[in-house]
Amino acid sequence: MDVEEVIDKMLKTSRNDMAYAVEGLQPEQLAMVSSVLMFRAALYAELAAYADYRGGCGCGDHGHEEALQRAHGHMRLVRRTLGFSIP
């Protein structure tokens, strides 16, 4: 199994056909796909927050330092929400 291929298939498949994307995978493989996606969800939240605080929020650039701090906070929030033991 190629984790990236499975993730790509999941992203491109309609939610109603999601079963097809994970068909035949073993529990350990599904766990690996899940952990990669969870890690990325937190990473993407961090990057999104950074972009927002650099001006994407619509109220101007908050500067690199504040954006970094906020980005870290968002990443921790998402990790906590997803149930990571070490946020």
Q: Which residues bind Zn ion (CB under 5 A)?
A: 57, 59
For residue 59, the minimal CB distance to Zn ion (Å) is 4
Which tokens is 24 given?
A: 């035949």
DSSP codes joined into one string, 35-56: HHHHHHHHHHHHHHHHHIIIII
CB of 71 to Zn ion, least distance (A): 13
Contact at 8 Å (CB) between 73 and 49?
yes
By C-beta, is 36 or 57 nearer to Zn ion? 57
**In the complex, least distance from residue 61 CB atom to Zn ion, rounded to whole angstroms:** 8
